[in-house]
Amino acid sequence: MGLFLDPARRVHGDKVVSIQDSEPEPFEFWEQISTSMDQLILKASPMAHIDEMLNKEYPPESIHAVSVNNELKELLYNYRYISDRLSKQDKSQIRYHAVDIKKNEIVKQGLDNFTILVDEDGIAPVNIPFVDADHLTKFSSISFIDDKGFSNGVKSYLYDPIVGAKKLGCMDHLGAGFDFYKLNKYTHF
């Protein structure tokens, strides 16, 4: 049996972001929930920090960042309560899912959604090469790019990841999957 918990995010008339500040505070009932349910899906504010839940004694099995038309709407934490048949390593792995739902369109695998597996230490760093600054300064307008999007044999475009990728901190992993180059270390384009 599963439980979907959507705690109130307004306490005494004030808006709260942290799960611990919501009502009811789910960790007060953690033992009761974990012994009577097979699964818990906990809905959180899109402004919540995912580290808050990862630093708990019971990390989620997966985290889902759901956006509509590239506007983050919800964070969903999925917990499964199972016997100790999984190894410690398996229990420490968390799946990050992001999906962007567009009105009147079908979600396209790989473009509007993705999944990565992270461990208890968080997202493993990925080395993404940077675009050569000299290459960028050669182009003063779009006219240097041909009809196929190439400029001197190099594909030139800006890719802005879906908002869920940004929220989950997965931009580099997403970029590595497509062999992208970053503009610099501190950008997500």
pLDDT of residue 148: 55
Residue-range domains of the chain with CATH: 2-118 (3.40.50.150)
pLDDT of residue 163: 86
Distance between CA atoms of residues 127 and 122, nearest Å:
16
pLDDT of residue 5: 84
CA-based nearest residue to 139, from 127, 129, 151: 151
Q: What is the mean pLDDT of each run of 10 residues along the chain (189 residues)?
A: 81 74 81 85 88 78 90 91 50 80 71 65 59 55 51 60 83 73 68
